[in-house]
Amino acid sequence: MLSTCAHQPLFRIVCALFVVLGVLLPSAGLGQDIEVAKLIERLTKDESAPQRRSAARALGDLGQRGLTAIPALVRALEDPDSSVRDEAENALIKFGEAAVPEVLPKLKDADEFVRLRAVSVLGRIGPEAKEALGEIELAKNDSSQFVRTAAIEADFRIRVEAKSLVPLFKDKDEEKRLYAVKACGFLGPLAKPVLAELSQALRTDKSKEVRREAAKSLAKLGRDARDAVPALTAALNDPDDTVKIHSLHALAEIGPEARSALPVIDRVGKAAQRSRNEELYEAAMRAWNVLQARRPGRNP
């Protein structure tokens, strides 16, 4: 066996390692706390709206590390600059259920637009905001029509989970299939779990109304619908012009990530120009410009 003396160098190394870890780990956490504190200070005190906006966005990107910023983000829903309010709302949505208790009191704010923001946040959080359903129900009777309408939509988004709609996409009853695709429009980005079903409905449903509403709902998913680009591109060959038009709108909402559709958009736009289908041509021109990141007015 080794003697105690032989163990001493190793013992010293291990002790030194524990000391280093004891210093570094708390300091790493402290560094994170300092970062959050600085962002909160910038959000709440900086006179520059772009600085406050970037702080709100950064806090939303921190995940669990940024939980202590939730109260400041809720206060930022009243920021004088609309872009800061938008980023604060987006950040709160990322925190999900953790943000709900802080947002709830804003449903009783004296300012109808603060109440509207609060309702919007809760609705966009979706099923994780179930504890807000009682207050959302009361908001349906708000003095503001804007808040009442938003509360109805929020209630739907919180109560209905996208996956629960899956059986309806294959139902023989057209009305039920139509309900499913329209419901996805209400859910917006929360409908992402059924993106494949929406895409399939757009491609193959025998009802032009279902196909049209599927395209409209995909537009409301925005960039979250980027995996549906092949289906939307195929829909530009649909026999119904309204399906084509709304598919073009959806491609424009997805943006440059849908550039693979450009050759088909070009063909559709030129055909619409020849046939003097103004609405279809304008939709194609807009999609072309957005996907190319060009200014309005440039022809496909």
CA-wise closest residue to 94 among 115, 72, 73, 116: 73
Please tell me whether residues 93 and 208 are part of one structural domain: no
176 and 146 within one domain: no
**What are the structure tokens assigned to 165, written together?**
């709609």
**pLDDT (0 to 100) of residue 12:** 56
> What's phi and psi for 111, nearest 5 deg?
-85, 120
User: Tens-of-pLDDT digits for all 300 residues of the chain?
Assistant: 344 444 455 545 444 444 443 444 444 444 558 888 899 999 999 899 999 999 999 999 988 888 999 999 999 999 999 999 999 999 999 999 999 999 999 999 999 999 999 999 999 999 999 999 999 999 999 999 999 999 999 999 999 999 999 999 999 999 999 999 999 998 989 999 999 999 999 999 999 999 999 999 999 999 999 999 999 999 999 999 999 999 999 999 999 999 999 999 999 999 999 999 999 999 999 999 999 875 444 444
Q: Is residue 148 part of a domain?
A: yes
Query: Do both 65 and 149 map to the same domain?
Result: yes
Length of the chain (residues):
300
Give the domain-ending residue among 159, 190, 223: 159
CA–CA gap between residue 79 and residue 82 (Å, rounded): 7
Handedness of CA 282, 284, 287, 292 (dihedral sign): negative
Burial class (CB in 10 A: 0-12, 13-18, 19+), 113: middle
In a domain, 245, yes or no: yes
* Residue 212, domain extent: 162-291
Q: How far is CA 86 from the centre of its chain?
A: 12
Are 61 and 113 within one domain? yes
Query: Of 159, 177, 206, which residue is a domain's last?
Result: 159
My answer on whether 188 and 284 are in the same domain is yes
Is 66 inside a domain boundary?
yes
User: CA-to-CA distance for 284 and 286, rounded, in angstroms?
Assistant: 5
Q: What is the CATH number of the domain that holds 68?
A: 1.25.10.10
Considering the domain boundaries, does residue 297 fall inside one? Answer: no
CA angle 89, 94, 97 (to 5 degrees): 100
Supply the pLDDT for residue 22: 44
Q: Cα(10)–Cα(221) distance, rounded to whole angstroms? A: 59
Residues 198 and 250 in one domain: yes
Flag whether 40 is in a domain: no
What predicted TM-score, i.e. pTM, was given to this entire model? 0.71
**6 found inside a domain:** no
Last residue of a domain, one of 108, 135, 159: 159
Query: Which secondary-structure segment (H or E) carries 107?
Result: none
Let me know whether 84 and 203 are in one domain: no
Residue with tokens 């925005």: 222
Any idea of the CA torsion for 241, 243, 246, 248, to the nearest 10 degrees? -70
The answer to whether residues 251 and 282 belong to one domain is yes
220, 275: one domain: yes
Cα separations in angstroms, 216 against 10, 136, 211, 251: 68, 26, 9, 11
Task: State whether 169 and 279 are in the same domain.
Answer: yes
The domain total for the chain is 2
Q: Is residue 286 domain-shared with residue 169, that is, in the same domain?
A: yes
